[in-house]
Amino acid sequence: MKSSCQYYFPTKERTLKPDYETIGSGKRKRRVKSKTVQTLHESGDIDGEAVTASERWLKDYLFSMHGYADYLKDSLPRDYLLGDAHTFALARGKAGSRVSEIQEQLGLCSHIRLEKLLVEGLSFSALGMILWPHKTRPEAAKMARSQCALLLEQLANFYIEKRKKEALVKSLACVPQT
């Protein structure tokens, strides 16, 4: 009797793509999906704020570029009014504006690295070989890892500073005029 629960594993061809990396050695060597942000967090290279910032940037990017959003985790209240094509387009435009603001602040090179790291999910070695093809794989991976950690910390700092500015503007708007 066959089990109704089936497990699907990636094909050999899929595991050879650059968003997979080799772990282990000898007989224990295998290819697994890259978890670069999680790896940086577990090693202490980045803090939780950077992880949250990377998730926030990725959600904005996917929504602005592809129209996909999965923000809601709770059920909607009964009096919630559904949006229409116009409110959807406005929300998508605001997400794109936030992504553009980050690109403007951190620069195009940083934006491209964020795309490769978060959207494409490239491993450090694949990212390193793209950025530094003349270096050895381990050296390029090490450089990519350190640059990605720095970039994610900068991204987190961008969000922190933006929150501070918005809070300051809000507090100044609430001050009564005399």
pLDDT the model gives residue 75? 73
78: how many CB neighbours lie within 10 A of its CB?
5
Residue labelled with tokens 């450090």:
124
Find the angle CA(93)-CA(148)-CA(160) to the nearest 5 degrees: 55
DSSP letter (8 states) at residue 21: E
Q: What is the pTM of this model?
A: 0.76
- Render pLDDT for 110-121 as a digit per residue (tens, 0 to 9): 999 999 999 888
pLDDT recorded at residue 64: 92
CA proximity to 64, closest of 99, 30, 23? 99
- Which stretches in the chain have pLDDT values below 70? 1-26, 28-34, 70-74, 76, 175-178
